Structure 1
Amino acid sequence: MRRHNFKNLQIWQESINLITDNYNFTTTLPKDEKFGLISQLNRSCVSIASNIAEGTSKRSNKHFIKYLEDSLGSAYEWETQIIICKNLNFISEEKFDDFENRIKKIQQKISNFIDKLDN
């Protein structure tokens, strides 16, 4: 297996962009959510890109896939938290739709990459 440069991976780049937008969004949440939704949103979003990056250091596709699966799990976790924000009226419909579309694309790309590495 050749090692990947995580900085060149589109899924990592898109995840990094999402982190920036996520952090900008979480500054608008109620301050009493600092140790709740804000913390969870930030940690799960950062975990998406971090697991992709860490996985590129592994010596086999099998091990890399494990980190990609962790990244995918974090993407679903982050999506769930955004849905909670919507249900609590913490996010505009427009911002929710943007985040929802972006995370679904990232999830699909991670899944496709896992499938490619698994063959």
Structure 2
Amino acid sequence: MKHERLLVWQRSVGLSVEIYRYFASCKDYGFKDQITRSGLSIPSNIAEGVERRSDKETIHFLGIAKGSAAELSTQVLIGKNIGLIDADNSDRWRVEIIEIAAMLGGLMNKLAMASD
């Protein structure tokens, strides 16, 4: 599958796995469900978009992935503020999310310019 070659997909999978493992024993099921779902959404939407037929469809799904990155960043910050995520992990994850979002934006711009 061509999405598996993308560094942005690989990094988002790694982040999702790390977050999922971190919350494996968390008893706050509502928060755990929400944060793991937004983490899973990023690589899932990258994969779906890249496997689509048109650049327009790909850009659409990459935009959804970028939105999920913003959602995840917000949840990580809230998790830190309420004591569910330690500061080291929170800060590291937020840096990774920012980099993933930037990579998604760059890919979207590249595809948009190619289809003009």
Query: Partner residue of 1:79?
Result: 73
Hey, what's the Cα distance between the residues in 2 that align with 1:54 and 1:90? 31
Query: Partner residue of 1:15?
Result: 12
Query: Partner residue of 1:43?
Result: 37
| CA RMSD, Structure 1 to Structure 2 (Å) | 1.2
Identity value in percent: 35
Secondary structure, counterpart of 1:91 in structure 2: coil
Aligned match for 2:63, one of 62, 69, 81? 69
TM-score between both structures, scaled by the size of structure 1: 0.90
Hey, what's the Cα distance between the residues in 2 that align with 1:22 and 1:112? 24
Q: Which runs of 4+ in 1 moved over 4 A?
A: none
Q: Which amino acid aligns with 1:20?
A: V
Structure 2: give runs of 5+ residues left out of the alignment: none
Q: Shift in Å at residue 26 of structure 1? A: 1.1
Hey, what's the Cα distance between the residues in 2 that align with 1:27 and 1:84? 18
Q: Shift in Å at residue 28 of structure 1? A: 4.8
Q: Which amino acid aligns with 2:24?
A: T
Aligned match for 1:27, one of 24, 37, 40? 24
Q: Which amino acid aligns with 1:72?
A: K
